[in-house]
Amino acid sequence: MRTALADAVAKDQPVPSELSDRLTALVHKIHPDLDWEVGTAPRSADSAEDLDLSPDVDPEKLLQQLAAMDDPSHLTEGPEYAMTLRPGRSDEARVQSERWARSAPDDDQWVFHPVRPADLDQLSGTVRWDDHELDLSHVLLSVRVNPSTSKIDVGVYHPDNMFLAEESRTRIAEHVTLLALGEDDYVLWIGRVHPLDEKPIDPITPANLPSVAKQMGDMLGGQDGWVRGTYKLPLVGGGEILLRHPLKRRNFPALTLAAHVIVPFTNTDEDKQPTGESEEALESLQSTLESLLGDNGALFGRRTDGGKRQFLYYLDPDSGVLPQFENVLVDWPEGEIKLRTELDPEWRHITMFRKPFRNLFES
């Protein structure tokens, strides 16, 4: 179907109904909650994260980097077309769309997205809606954090809202918010989205919405997305727990293989917490595992007491990273490391790992 789909995208026309029905049937075999869309693939360029912002950087060099990012010729060549699966609010569908995207072959014409990504460039362009051409650069937002839902309610204003039907205004509001955040962050952080008839008193632009969502995540997530606590156990002594929080399925949709690692250590203080060379070796082990895993795994929780440190990782079982993960744990100089792995798509292990420390998330 690729030729006909590419032709529809190139001509900016809807996919023919017979082809659309056929593709929908295939997508629903992956998961019945999935939808799909095709379009042009964005041309990527260096992001702000690639800039050298060190204190001793040459200002002239930094200006050259910024100018290059604004130069259209600096855009990277790549596939022309994009196919995107749309899981909506279904976490189960999101898991399957991630597996679909990760299994995709390299393709010089098509790129495959498991969710609709953010696209801030479109927010400076125009869109046709109900025979109206709307310049999205005129959009302004009002944002309010709803403490009862821990979500952000967004109001979307455009000067032409008064000329549109209520349903169209609502759909445009949702469209703008999706472009600003992408589908995952939309589901994670956005509550109510509604159109506004009047310009908000303290407006922000859609380009500022990602920073608002990040502030929301930082507020809920403790320090850098982790919460830490200490405790005392009879006959064991002191302990320390480190837990990822908030833990959202959307952030790790492919990670369904639980890997519970128990690492003994020999150099301890009076509470049997690691010191000296043991502390350095444990930190080095964790850093090595993190570098190895990349997007194929993540640490969800860490607990240290009684001369042992427990790590709970989740891995992508289809990535082939498990044998390398196991090899890193061989020949630990301070005792025998124990490893237990189990497929856990429901994340039961991390639920039990966190359960005794619920008060950390409530404080």
Q: Which amino acid is at 166?
A: E
Q: Which residue has the higher pLDDT, 237 or 121?
A: 121
Expressed as residue numbers, the domain containing 276 is 226-362
pLDDT in tens, 242-252: 999 888 899 99
Do 289 and 326 lie in a common domain? Answer: yes
Do 149 and 277 lie in a common domain? Answer: no
CA atoms 117, 167, 91, 146: torsion sign: positive
Do 161 and 274 lie in a common domain? Answer: no
pLDDT at 218 over 50: yes
Give residue 23's pLDDT: 97
CA atoms 58, 63, 66, 67: torsion sign: negative
Do 285 and 195 lie in a common domain? Answer: no
Do 130 and 214 lie in a common domain? Answer: yes
Asked if residue 141 lies in contact with residue 156, where contact means CB atoms within 8 angstroms, the answer is yes
- Reported confidence tier of residue 104, pLDDT bands at 50, 70, 90: very high
Do 205 and 276 lie in a common domain? Answer: no
**Residue-by-residue DSSP string for 82-129:** EEEEE-TT-HHHHHHHHHHHHTPPP-SSEEEESSPPP-GGGGGSEEEE
User: Which residue, of 165, 194, 220, is where some domain finishes?
Assistant: 220
User: Which residue, of 113, 129, 163, is where some domain finishes?
Assistant: 113
- Reported confidence tier of residue 60, pLDDT bands at 50, 70, 90: low
- Reported confidence tier of residue 99, pLDDT bands at 50, 70, 90: very high
Share of the chain above pLDDT 90, in %: 69
Give residue 223's pLDDT: 54
User: Which residue, of 220, 241, 256, is where some domain finishes?
Assistant: 220
The CATH number that applies at residue 326 is: 3.30.70
pLDDT at 352 over 60: yes
- Reported confidence tier of residue 357, pLDDT bands at 50, 70, 90: confident
Q: How many structural domains are present in the chain?
A: 3
pLDDT at 291 over 70: yes
pLDDT in tens, 37-51: 999 987 654 444 455
Q: How far is the C-alpha of 300 from the C-alpha of 314, rounded, in Å?
A: 7
pLDDT in tens, 82-96: 999 999 999 999 999
pLDDT at 265 over 50: yes
Helix axes 209-220, 166-181, angle to 10 degrees: 70
pLDDT at 56 over 80: no
Give residue 67's pLDDT: 60
Do 323 and 339 lie in a common domain? Answer: yes
Do 127 and 104 lie in a common domain? Answer: no
- Reported confidence tier of residue 267, pLDDT bands at 50, 70, 90: very high
Structure-block tokens of residue 112: 């495959």
- Reported confidence tier of residue 159, pLDDT bands at 50, 70, 90: very high
pLDDT in tens, 172-217: 999 999 999 999 999 999 999 999 999 999 999 999 999 998 888 7
Do 17 and 45 lie in a common domain? Answer: yes
Residue 153: CB atoms within 10 Å = 15
Any idea which residue has 């997007």 for tokens? 295
pLDDT in tens, 3-19: 999 999 999 899 999 99
Give residue 45's pLDDT: 46
Sheet with 140-146, edge to edge strand ranges: 140-146, 151-157, 190-196
Asked if residue 156 lies in contact with residue 194, where contact means CB atoms within 8 angstroms, the answer is yes
Do 324 and 262 lie in a common domain? Answer: yes
Share of the chain above pLDDT 70, in %: 88
Q: Tell me the average pLDDT of the chain.
A: 88
Look at the pTM and tell me if it is higher than 0.75.
yes
- Give the mean pLDDT of 272-296: 95
pLDDT at 74 over 50: no
Give residue 49's pLDDT: 45
Do 14 and 106 lie in a common domain? Answer: yes
Q: How far is the C-alpha of 79 from the C-alpha of 210, rounded, in Å?
A: 26
Do 201 and 283 lie in a common domain? Answer: no
CA atoms 214, 220, 222, 228: torsion sign: negative
Q: Which residue has the higher pLDDT, 358 or 80?
A: 80
Structure-block tokens of residue 215: 């502030």
Give residue 219's pLDDT: 76
CA atoms 278, 229, 345, 298: torsion sign: negative
Instruction: Please state, in angstroms and as integers, the Cα–Cα distance from residue 154 to each residue in 11, 79, 161, 184, following that order.
Output: 34, 34, 15, 16
